[in-house]
Amino acid sequence: MACKITEFVLDCRDAERLAAFWCDILGWSVLGREESDGSIEIGPPGGDPFTIVLSPAPEPKTSKLRLHLDVSPTDRDQPAELERLLAAGARPADVGQTGEESWHVLQDPEGNEFCLLRTRVPS
């Protein structure tokens, strides 16, 4: 048996703010809060084992992430989803793309990069 990825841990300055952003973007909810360090775990409805843990860190993000999330629209086309993400607080990001890509590079409210892919996937 191989391993399975179950958590993506993202250091952040404001776990509450990012939890609200990512829950809005993904249609997820807060699953738990760790009082000892202020981290917040968010995940999808239905008990999927993959979650994101937003872990407070005092130091600011200083460079492009070496690992990022890709998101895909589930109930609309890419242009409509891009509009929704920007309205929710995402910002365009330039990481050296040419402009010919089929995806959009964005940043969450703390500057963490993620990509919006073109292909719709079932919700």
Does 9 have pLDDT greater than 80? yes
d(CA 102, CA 116): 9
Q: Which domains does the chain have, with CATH numbers?
A: 7-60 (3.10.180.10), 61-123 (3.30.720)
More confident residue, 67 or 88: 88
For residue 56, the one-letter residue type is P
pTM of the model: 0.89
CA distances from 48 to 43, 45, 90, 105 (A): 7, 7, 25, 26
pLDDT value at residue 25: 96
**For residue range 14-55, what is the model confidence (pLDDT) as tens digits?**
999 999 999 999 999 999 999 999 999 999 988 788 999 999
Residue 16 DSSP label: H
**54, 12 in Cβ contact below 8 A?**
yes
What is the maximal distance between C-alpha atoms in the chain? Answer: 45
The token duo for 48 is 């999927």
